[in-house]
Chain A
């Protein structure tokens, strides 16, 4: 039985310090990676920020938006165009990108969340397609299909490590914000809305108000991510507002596990590595692959990777306490 107890000790230790271990790994890891993989992780930070904001809507509140990538595109374009035409310093531009997405999120959410039904999915999806058309057509301002070269966060040619740490910082801030929100009273409202709108209303939750506010906040986060991404790659183009981006965001959340924060992190890293691997085989195949995987995941593994890991942990250490806490986590968070 000695081995079980060490495993248990390890479990307790891991539970207590896992976030610090993860942070330490995230801080040290890029120093040993080639620029290509550092790039992969920077892009992963962008997708994970947008994925967190989508998870806030879909996973925690049960409101499915099909246009979150459009909010990040709005953030990217607002930040990029202001920097390009008016010389806005990029550091301020990231915040501006987030703020730019707020009114759009508020209007779309406010209009479509008042009525029940799939209006949000429909409206955000139509908005994303229309945004794409506008970005392509207004080529005198946006540079049309080929996009616009905008100033980057650091002068061109600087090491990617700087971007990595900025991305990590931004992601950590977003993660903490989302965590605080989910654990707050508002988080309970969100869970109530997701689980049963009627009951939530009967208990006195102003469902429409909280749905709209959470959606607006999540569009702010998506805009933030988009602005960071634009300042990293130094290019804004309508491809930011294509449905393929939405698939990436969805697969990250679904693969990791909806309605959990750990799931989004694990899913983000896994999916970006798989996507990088697939790119080597055949460009363009990843979307085909991921959309098929989404269908399979929803059919068979709706808890995602995180549930699988929890089950494994619960199965390995036969002590019921761990299994119970695992179940508790699932019932609270997902």
Chain B
């Protein structure tokens, strides 16, 4: 039995918008992967951290939303830069850093999760709605929170592309993505640029966290599945390219929405994993298939 076209359209729109929001996670990972050649397993914890800071700014300190959101994104970025400076930068000076950096970010992820569990407790929390109710565009209905998240994620992706194209930092990052040694020779302060890109990446994670937790709620493990989705996205789309993370995000969003609508809702998070296994079997380099020299390779 095929459902009516309007319902299909509805799923399509939801899937597309979820995909664009997921692409935000993929974007942050892509930035770090492309510039620092590093797979960051703690990325989801910055999503969680951004969500918690935003939540406590609003509920405990009574900050208005337009103040709380930028503040929480900014402070998460600062925490991210501090983390990079303290735990990841020293790793560049040891021999064969590749896999050890992975273990460091993995340990960071557990550390932050456990810290959140100790500080904030295991309970589900929900920040206030950014746009209460449901919006209707003709036959398509979309929840206000998802709509806001969609707008923000499109804006952030656009902003990151502008930074990459138009600023000195962005040019330095692109140079580093192509060849770190040549970038270094051309006078780029590679270590500082690494710290900045880590900050920008955690800021995108925090932006996703601030807006998505109004839909998916907030708890210490909240960052785990956004991160898995981020990785699935970059593995599908092709590691290290922004276009790839956009395409991967949209594919994943559509697969998840249709899968949970027609197969099983409680396994929404599993479909992505099956997709990942499929892609690794059939086309390991992803759709865009950019070849990238990765750490740990």
Contacts and interface: CB of A to CB of B under 8 A. Distances in A.
Contacts of A302: 94, 100
Contacts of A295: 87, 104, 107-108, 111
A114 B232 CA distance: 17
B270 A118 contact: no
A126 B87 contact: no
B245 to A, nearest CB: 15
B99 A64 contact: yes
Interface in B47-103: 87, 90-91, 94, 99-100, 102-103
A100 to B, nearest CB: 18
Interface stretch (A70-78, A130-138, A212-220, A223-231): A130-138
A299 interface: yes
A107 to B, nearest CB: 8
Contacts of A287: 110, 114
Contact of B280 (A119, A254, A294, A299): A119
Interface residues of A, number: 41
Interface string B268-297: 011001001100110011000000101111
Contact of B100 (A66, A107, A247, A298): A298
B225 interface: yes
Contact of A118 (B117, B266, B285, B296): B296
Given A117-B294, A126-B273, A129-B225, A64 B110 contact: no
A112 B296 CA distance: 13
A202 interface: no
A123 B280 contact: yes
A291 B110 contact: yes
Contacts of A299: 87, 90-91, 94, 104
B111 A126 contact: no
B269 A133 contact: yes
Contacts of B224: 129
B18 interface: no
Contacts of B258: none
Interface in A239-295: 243-244, 246-247, 250, 254, 284-285, 287-288, 291-292, 294-295
B103 A298 contact: yes
Interface residues of B, number: 45
Nearest to A111: B280
A299 B100 CA distance: 9
B294 A126 contact: no
A126 B100 CA distance: 19
B295 A66 contact: no
Contacts of B284: 114-115, 119
Given A112-B280, A291-B107, A133 B114 contact: no
Given A121-B102, A130-B228, A292-B107, 16 more contacts: A66-B102, A114-B284, A121-B39, A121-B99, A123-B280, A125-B41, A127-B273, A130-B273, A134-B270, A285-B118, A287-B110, A288-B115, A295-B104, A295-B111, A299-B90, A302-B100
Closest 9 CB pairs of A and B: A294-B107, A116-B297, A291-B111, A117-B294, A291-B110, A115-B284, A288-B114, A291-B107, A118-B296
24 contacts: A64-B296, A66-B102, A107-B277, A114-B280, A117-B296, A118-B295, A121-B39, A122-B235, A126-B273, A243-B110, A247-B110, A285-B118, A291-B108, A291-B110, A291-B114, A294-B103, A294-B104, A295-B111, A298-B91, A298-B103, A298-B104, A298-B107, A299-B104, A302-B94
